[in-house]
Chain A
Amino acid sequence: MKFMIKKEHIAMIVLLMIAVLSCMGPKKVAYDFPSTMNESVQKEYLRQCEKGAVLYEISCSGCHTKKSMLSKKIPDFTADQIYGYEIRRSNKNHENALTAETVTTEELGYILNFLMYKKRSGLLHKGTHVEN
């Protein structure tokens, strides 16, 4: 009896790989803090960034994270694109998606810190600071 690799086998292997990868859970985010930042400040930023990472996942990733079958990439935002409270208005979709009732000002600060200090993914975020 000869063993034949069929399309069904390949599909099963792919599905198995996806299942294994998803069981591995989210990767721990790495951060790039400036080397001049002192340790206690860095610790506080890390605390905020970790909260920001969770909040980003809840409130932002649906539109901004680039997802494929095997990976998720959080884009790299420029400093202009994540400039303070103005991001509530800089993107048309934020009028309803990023209000004070969906993300508080404090939480927005955590998310912005997370996006500022997370390790670069190499995927540039498209869009301008203020779209007219």
Chain B
Amino acid sequence: MNKYYLSALFFFIAFLAISFKTIQSNSYQQAYELKINDFIKSESFLIKTVQECNQLSGTNIDKIKQAIGASRNKMKSADIWLRYLEPLAYKKINSPLPVEWETEVFEKFEKPYKRVGAGLTLAELYLEEENPDKDTLLHLLTQAEKATGSFLHDSIVSKIKTFDHFYFCNRLFLLNLASIYTTGFECPDTALVIPELKVMLSEVNTIYATYNQSFSSQQLSAPYMTLFAACIQFAVNQPERYSHFDHFTFIKDYVNPLFALNQQLIRQYGASSRSNLDYALNKTAASIFDKSLYMGQITKGIFLRVNDEQTLQTIDRLGEMLFFDPILSANNQRSCVSCHDPKQFFTDTLRSTSLQFNEKEFLPRNSPSLLNTPFNHLAMLDGKHHTLQHQGKAVITNPIEMGSNENEVLEKILSCKEYKAGFTKLLKHTPQEKEITLEHIVSALTFYYGKFSNGTAAFDNAMNNKTPVNKEVIEGFNLFMSKSQCASCHFVPQFNGVKPPYIGSEFEVLGTPEDPHYKSLSKDKGRHDVNPATETMNAFRTGTLRNAEKTKPYMHNGVFKTLDEVIEFYNGGGGAGRGLVVENQTLSSDSLRLTKKEKIQLISFIKSLNEEIILEVTPEKLPLSKNKTFNTRKVGGEY
């Protein structure tokens, strides 16, 4: 009989243990469902408020804005999950633009996708328009409510049942803390940027607590929790205005060290991601300001499987010689250096736009620096090329640039014994190719110049607590992140148009003039040439601000010669702010009202992004060809 009692007792204890575990593992899920439901309730209330208004004017608008504000706080409470778990649904909840054309890294070989936005930011912006229409407003809001509801579907809820997703949600959250949450991106009322941040930090803290309770074997570590508590305290003690917020210290002392701890936990727990959002991100980067954080391009190209140092040196050496060799051009007089001189930070600082192949006319666009090009998913200012290798081939074969063609250039290169022997030796590393192709040639080129993008700037060293920067730089950065509205297009840490999770390149319409006196708008259609649409007319891919001081002139047509002119352009609200007709300008046409002192501070910060580039000695001679007429060519070309 005792046996029966003992067995019953055993099963009862086992039952309790299992039940207790179930309850624990559900508390995180319950917190998730509670926050999503709270957000849906706030959206329903907002919709009801709009429906009950007879007219969209006066006090009614104030009432609606108040309801939008309340709903935004609920959204921020769940933002850590919303952005990561279903990014397409998020575009219906809080899109910054009515239409976005996207070519994210994994789908960039496909036609750009048109994604129509909706949600709270667009609703708030719509209320600022003349005579807003109730139905249009309701449409923006009901789409958001429906999209929020999708976060309760089994397909999404199932993702939060294991611990893995948490560390990736958190990684994106931390990257966004550094890049967008404090800048006014997706927050039309700048007075609310910091109050919303405070709500979000506090709510995330409760999410952390329920997570740690439910996933006791993969908890956030004590150092992480302590630092996050200090981060909240720091934010609470900061002024409410985003232009007075200390963005620099917030990122340096809190966000970046939290990111390092989160990366360590990802590795320690072996967290595994199935999301495309993690496609470009590196699990080993221990700092947001580490160049290995994400990779937009594979500079090794066709040699991507080569890892041994000696072979890499061979590729690098071949790439170096080719970079300086005018044999790539039809007349053997132009080399890569002609427009991308290493001594000029891999660009042409002497002209607005470089000379054409015919040596008489000028190219339509400014030569961009090759530095940091690997951190873009699309190459060229109009994003025409998917890879740096495609871009290299296009330049070699473009009649107004190098004027060559694939067969001819290959024949000429292989007529040089040194090139032929070098590439023949490398063929075994690319068994899918039976013979040397132009892909081998351009891959050696991209591998060579790609290594110069590993440089760090004084600003990176300050963020990584290596060497401090002066007060003027810090104040310039704080302005950059707030009042001057630079950071909502030039995202931390590359300061280009690639925002977390670093899988796409953004394009902007700035209203760049044809001439420095703003007589007319530049006629260059930009992205429209590649993807014709109303929104892409005159749009250009946002370039990096790294090395900006050294890479003049500026804008797609090199219209501005100094950084002061560029700051004046933005301060005046771009082309539209100067009276040019730019119907689709994505930059606000209002003046930024920057003071003289603030402009100096901004430029100081931009100068802190100059990188230390270690140049190599220029090759003294070029490989000899069997064809003696090629052997008169000069290192670097002639024009």
Q: Which residue of A lies closest to B105 (CB)?
A: A100
Bound form: Cα–Cα A75–B592 in Å = 62
CB–CB B276/A105 < 8 A = no
Are A101's CB and B275's CB within 8 A? Answer: no
Which residues of A13-72 are within 8 A (CB) of B? 51, 54-55, 58
Partner of A105, one of B109, B275, B305: B109
The answer to whether B279 touches A100, judged by C-beta atoms less than 8 angstroms apart, is yes
| Residues in chain A near residue B272, CB distance under 8 A | 92, 95
Report the interface size for chain B: residues with CB under 8 A from the other chain: 23
Q: Is the CB of A95 within 8 A of B106?
A: no
User: Does B295 sit within 8 A of A, measured CB to CB?
Assistant: yes
Q: Tell me if B109 and A109 are in contact (CB < 8 A).
A: yes
The docked-state distance in angstroms from the alpha carbon of A101 to that of B279 is 11
Q: Cβ of B280 < 8 Å from any Cβ of A?
A: yes
Of A55, A85, A100, A110, which contacts B298 at CB under 8 A? A100
Query: Of B275, B280, B432, which one neighbours A89 at CB under 8 angstroms?
Result: B275
Kindly identify which residue among A58, A89, A104 contacts B274, using a CB–CB cutoff of 8 Å. A89
CB distance from A33 to the nearest CB of B (A): 20
> B386 on the interface (CB 8 Å rule)?
yes
Assess whether B433 is in contact with A51, with CB atoms less than 8 Å apart: yes
B431 near A: Cβ within 8 Å?
Answer: yes
A104 contacts B275, C-beta separation under 8 Å: no
A-chain residues with CB within 8 Å of residue B275 when the two chains form the complex: 89
Q: Closest Cβ of chain B: how far from A125's Cβ, in Å?
A: 19
In chain A, residues 92-132, which have Cβ atoms closer than 8 Å to a Cβ of chain B?
Answer: 92, 95, 99-102, 104-107, 109-110, 132
Interface string of A1-16 (1 = CB under 8 A from B): 0000000000000000
Q: Is the CB of A110 within 8 A of B273?
A: no
* Chain B interface main SS type: loop
B470 within 8 A of A: no
Q: Does B107 contact A85, Cβ atoms closer than 8 Å? A: yes
Closest Cβ–Cβ distance, residue B313 to chain A (whole Å): 20
Count of inter-chain pairs, beta carbons less than 8 A = 50
**CB atoms of A95 and B158 under 8 A apart:** no
Is there a chain A Cβ closer than 8 Å to B304's Cβ?
yes
Q: Which residues of B contact A90 (CB under 8 A)?
A: 274
Q: Find residues 106-161 in chain B having any chain A CB closer than 8 Å to their own CB.
A: 106-109, 158
Flag if A95 contacts B274 (CB, 8 Å).
yes
Cβ-defined contact, A104 with B304, below 8 A: yes
B304 & A58 in contact (Cβ 8 Å cutoff)? no
Contact assessment for A54 and B432 in the assembled complex, using a CB-CB cutoff below 8 Å: yes
Who on chain A is nearest to B159 by CB?
A: A132
- A101 near B274 (CB under 8 angstroms)? no
Chain A CB within 10 Å, residue with most, of B107, B108, B272, B432:
B432
B276 smallest CB distance to A (angstroms):
6
Residue numbers in B under 8 Å from A100 (CB-CB): 105, 279-280, 295, 298
User: CB distance A88 to B279 under 8 Å?
Assistant: yes
With A101-B295, A104-B304 as contacts: A51 and B432 at CB distance below 8 Å: yes
- By beta carbon, the residue of chain B nearest A53 is B432
The chain A residue with its CB closest to the CB of B158 is A132
List residues of chain A with CB within 8 A of the CB of B304.
101-102, 104
CA distance A68 to B349 in the complex (A): 62
Closest Cβ–Cβ distance, residue B560 to chain A (whole Å): 35
Q: How far is the CA of A107 from the CA of B432 in the complex (A)?
A: 10
A89 and B276 contacting across the interface, CB-CB below 8 Å? yes
| Contacts A101-B298, A101-B304 given; does A95 touch B273 at CB 8 Å | yes
Q: How far is the CA of A85 from the CA of B433 in the complex (A)?
A: 23
Chain B residues contacting A89 (CB-CB under 8 Å) are 273-276, 279
Interchain CB contact under 8 A, A85 and B274: no
CA distance A105 to B377 in the complex (A): 12
- Provide the residues of chain A in CB contact with B298, threshold 8 Å: 100-101, 104
**Does B431 contact A105, Cβ atoms closer than 8 Å?**
no
Q: Please report the C-alpha to C-alpha distance between residue A55 and residue B109 in the assembled complex, in whole angstroms.
A: 19
Q: Binary interface profile of B, 384-419, with partner A (CB < 8 Å = 1, else 0)? A: 001100000000000000000000000000000000
Question: Given contacts A100-B279, A102-B304, A132-B158, is CB(A88)–CB(B106) below 8 Å?
Answer: yes
For A110, list chain B residues within 8 Å (CB). 432
CB-defined contacts of B305 to chain A, threshold 8 Å: 58, 102
Measured CA separation A109–B304 after assembly (Å): 16
Scoring B107, B274, B298, B431 by chain A CB atoms within 10 A of each residue's CB, the highest score goes to B274
A109 to B279, CA, bound (A): 17
Give A77 to B453 CA distance when docked, in angstroms.
40
Residues of the B chain whose Cβ atoms lie less than 8 Å from the Cβ of A95: 272-274
Task: Please provide the chain B residues from 222 to 276 with a CB less than 8 Å away from any CB of chain A in the complex.
Answer: 272-276
A109 to B431, CA, bound (A): 17
| Given A58-B431, A90-B274, A100-B280: 20 more A-B contacts, CB < 8 Å | A85-B106, A88-B106, A88-B276, A88-B279, A89-B273, A89-B274, A89-B275, A89-B276, A89-B279, A92-B274, A95-B274, A100-B295, A100-B298, A101-B295, A101-B304, A104-B304, A105-B108, A105-B109, A110-B432, A132-B158
Q: Can you name 23 A-B pairs with beta carbons within 8 Å?
A: A54-B431, A85-B109, A85-B276, A88-B106, A89-B273, A89-B274, A89-B279, A95-B272, A95-B273, A99-B279, A100-B105, A100-B298, A101-B295, A101-B304, A102-B305, A104-B298, A104-B304, A104-B387, A105-B386, A106-B109, A107-B432, A109-B109, A132-B158
Closest 7 CB pairs of A and B: A51-B432, A85-B106, A54-B432, A89-B274, A54-B431, A55-B432, A95-B272
